[in-house]
Amino acid sequence: MQRDALSVLQHVFGYHDFRGEQRAIIDNLIDGDDALVLMPTGGGKSLCYQIPSLVRDGVGVVVSPLIALMQDQVSALNALGVRAAFLNSTLSAEQSQSLQQQVRNGELDLLYVAPERLIQPRTLELLHQSPLALFAIDEAHCVSQWGHDFRSDYLQLSLLHREFPKVPRIALTATADPRTRTEIAERLDLTGARHYVSSFDRPNIQYRIERKDGARKQLLRLLRAEHAGEAGIVYCLSRNKVDQTAQWLTDQGIPALPYHAGLSGAMRADHQQRFLREDGLVMVATVAFGMGIDKPDVRFVAHLDLPKSIEAYYQETGRAGRDGEPATAWMAYGLEDAIRHKQMLAQSEGNEQFKRHEHQRLEAMLGLCEVTHCRRQALLHYFGENLEQPCGNCDTCLNPPQTFDATEASQKALSCVFRTGQRFGVNHLVDVLTGNRSDKVAAAGHDHVSTWNIGGEFSASQWRAIYRQLVARGLLAVDADGYGALKLTETCRPYLRGEVPLHLRKDAAKSAERTRRSKP
């Protein structure tokens, strides 16, 4: 039976039209050519290899590091009547034998396999004896040492090209930066592949980032005013906070469930199922939740803590509004978030280069929090994409932040860091600037430095907001030693000398008060 791509889309998958570049990618593969596909999460990558596997003769071999996801995909495909299977070590010898026979006979459309299994000689032997439609390498950024998902098994996947030069290959990823892309093409021997780069824009998601000012209450206001009875995800950094927040929301009359790696597997599965099936449930979760969650009507994603990178922020917020209907990505953040991330990073394992890289990514995330122009433009710019016009659907477009000339203020703030030896945290610095003779100030003799009491024009909370923005702009670095001391960076020199004008957000000054003495 001759099948064409569109009829497979409609009759097997039940969709009307292709999305974005799916059609071009699928045709390219059906013609036997290689492809490198960069598409955001939720963009519809799976169909790009599933349909050609059905249209071409032989089995499509799909490699992915995400075992749970492969299992899910296989069950979903089976439910649609597609002959798909997962070759893994949980199969009995008998099951495995019969599966292999099916593969050899070309009786299977899709075979999912983990990379470490694929590169084993016995698997390669099987594939050499079988008709092959294509190879799909999902999560292809795992070949990149630059990212943090690096998998050494993935490097060996370049052997596919040598062993099966006639079988078309498609590599897919949602990781956009050009450096990773080049690495994928080189390491997988995909230099002749066509590149398909989709836009990362998710126009129906409204991006909003607020300063923490009683974050739970801020969240509650949002849910009541704009998302009553709707499904959403609330991300928190710690398991503890997940549990507490879920309980608190429930107490406020908003049905919420916790999800984190500290819960039993059964409970996690149960909460996930309920979230997928029931209407209007809020999932309060750590980043452990979300991989492969495909719920189209998630109306909001809220962050009560800062994600560790823009990539993470994008992935997590990307779980909202997959159905294309309006959705909100809302976040509350404060300087204490940045300090906590830096402490965690300092204590984490990983070499210097890794840590430096993670610092850069964190700082980019902070930068996104403090932009004064369109947030979507800033977000897409990070992924190497240029959005011509401000989007009109983010907080900075809808309520342009007021800015003020902070050239002199930042000069004072920076020199106070310098005069006190770059060993103190923001509260101490603010005490010095505003002339608040705390015990610590007196003990350090900082009531005698030249920046003592020179900051009377702003309140303590305003100074804190200024410091936060200086950190976000990379003019100050938070020391990772655990105390949150602020240090000057190379970039700050011209600002310290007052040579470059600096404009900061004014509204930022309002809210710092409550987080005042929160421990870094």
Interface contacts to ligand ADP, rule CB under 6 A: 15, 18-19, 22, 39, 41-47, 294, 322
Q: In 32-83, where do the E strands start and end?
A: 35-38, 59-63
**Long-range Cβ contact pairs of 455-462 (< 8 A, separation 24 or more):** 455/409, 455/412, 455/413, 455/416, 455/430, 457/409, 458/409, 458/434, 458/509, 459/434, 459/509, 460/430, 460/431, 460/434, 460/436, 460/516, 461/509, 461/510, 461/511, 461/512, 461/513, 461/516, 462/509, 462/512
The one-letter code for the residue type at 32 is G
153 or 201: whose CB is closer to Zn ion? Answer: 201
With CB under 5 to 8 Å by kind, the binding choice for 371 among ligand ADP, Zn ion, none is none
Contacted entry of Zn ion, ligand ADP, none for residue 18, CB cut-off 5 to 8 Å set by kind = ligand ADP
Tracing tokens 């609330």 back to the chain, one arrives at 234
Q: Which stretch binds Zn ion (CB under 5 A): 67-75, 159-167, 339-347, 385-393?
A: 385-393
Asked if 380 is part of the footprint of Zn ion (rule: CB under 5 A), the reply reads no
**Closer CB to ligand ADP, 12 or 127, in the complex:** 12
Helical pair 407-419 and 460-472, crossing angle rounded to 10 deg: 90
Query: Rounded to whole angstroms, how far apart are CA atoms 314 and 382?
Result: 11
Nearest approach in angstroms of CB 13 to ligand ADP is: 7
Decide whether 15 or 483 has the Cβ nearer to ligand ADP.
15
**What token pair was written down for 176?**
């956009």
Query: Could you tell me which of 117, 363, 332 has the C-alpha nearest to residue 220?
Result: 332
Is 41 or 511 the residue whose CB approaches ligand ADP more closely?
41
d(CA 293, CA 322): 11
| Contact call for residue 234 and Zn ion (CB under 5 A) | no
Residue closer to ligand ADP by CB (options 226, 294) is: 294
Which does residue 33 touch among ligand ADP, Zn ion, none (CB within 5 to 8 A, set by kind)? none
**Angle, to 10 degrees, between the axis of helix 22-30 and the axis of helix 46-55?**
40
**Residue 285 and residue 259 in contact, taking contact as beta carbons nearer than 8 Å:** yes
Q: Encoding tokens for residue 269?
A: 């599965």
- Structure token digits, residue 138: 């999902």
Cβ atoms of residues 288 and 258 within 8 Å: no
Of 47 and 205, CB closest to ligand ADP: 47
**Closest approach of Cβ 199 to ligand ADP, in Å?**
13
Is 209 a binder of Zn ion (CB under 5 A)? no
Q: Among Zn ion, ligand ADP, none, what binds residue 391 when CB lies within 5 to 8 Å by partner kind? A: Zn ion
By beta-carbon proximity to Zn ion, the closer residue of 272 and 396 is 396
Q: Per CB under 5 A, which region of 50-58, 260-268, 383-391, 445-453 contacts Zn ion?
A: 383-391
Half-sphere exposure of 44 (CA within 13 A, CB side): 22
Q: Identify which of 514, 470, 502, 505 has the alpha carbon closest to the alpha carbon of residue 373.
A: 505
Residue 374 interaction partner, one of ligand ADP, Zn ion, none, beta carbon < 5-8 Å per kind: Zn ion
Q: Which is nearer to ligand ADP, 76 or 344 (CB)?
A: 76
SS3 annotation, 341-362: HHHHHHHCCCCHHHHHHHHHHH
Query: What pairs with residue 207 in β-bridges?
Result: 329, 394
Residue 43 or 258: the one with the smaller Cβ distance to ligand ADP is 43
The span of 335-343, 387-395, 484-492, 505-513 binding Zn ion (CB under 5 A) equals 387-395
**208 versus 319: smaller Cβ distance to ligand ADP:** 319
Q: Which is nearer to Zn ion, 106 or 203 (CB)?
A: 203
400 φ/ψ angles, rounded to the nearest 5 degrees: -55, 125
User: What value, to the nearest 5°, has the Cα angle with vertex 259 and ends 256 and 260?
Assistant: 150
Return the one option of Zn ion, ligand ADP, none that residue 321 interacts with (CB less than 5 to 8 A, by type).
none
Residue 39 touches which of Zn ion, ligand ADP, none (Cβ within 5-8 Å per kind)? ligand ADP
Name the CA dihedral angle for 417, 418, 423, 427, rounded to a multiple of 10 degrees.
Answer: -20
- What's the 3-state SS for 177-219? CHHHHHHHHHHCCCCCCEEEECCCCCCCEEEEEEECCCHHHHH
- Residue 376 binds: one of Zn ion, ligand ADP, none (C-beta under 5 to 8 A by kind): Zn ion
Residue nearest to ligand ADP (CB): 44
Query: Choosing among ligand ADP, Zn ion, none, which partner's interface includes residue 271 (Cβ < 5 to 8 Å by kind)?
Result: none
The piece of 373-381, 415-423, 424-432, 476-484 that touches Zn ion (CB under 5 A) is: 373-381
- Shortest approach of ligand ADP to residue 26 CB, angstroms? 10
Please tell me whether residue 374 binds Zn ion under the rule CB under 5 A. yes
Number of other residues whose CB lies within 10 A of the CB of residue 255: 15
**Stretch of 101-109, 198-206, 352-360, 374-382 lying at the interface with Zn ion (CB under 5 A):** 374-382
With CB under 5 to 8 Å by kind, the binding choice for 473 among ligand ADP, Zn ion, none is none
> Which does residue 257 touch among Zn ion, ligand ADP, none (CB within 5 to 8 A, set by kind)?
none
Q: What angle do CA 56, 59, 64 make, to 5 degrees?
A: 115
Burial group, residue 229, by CB count within 10 angstroms (0-12, 13-18, 19+) = exposed
Measured CA to CA, the distance from residue 499 to residue 497 in angstroms comes to: 5
Give me the 392-421 binding string for Zn ion, x by CB under 5 A, dash otherwise.
--x--x------------------------
Residue 376 touching Zn ion (CB under 5 A):
yes
For residue 43, the minimal CB distance to ligand ADP (Å) is: 4
Nearest approach, Cβ of residue 292 and ligand ADP (Å)? 8
Q: Which is nearer to Zn ion, 365 or 449 (CB)?
A: 365
Q: Answer yes or no whether residue 202 interacts with Zn ion by CB under 5 A.
A: no
d(CA 107, CA 504): 64
Footprint of Zn ion (CB under 5 A): 374, 376, 390-391, 394, 397
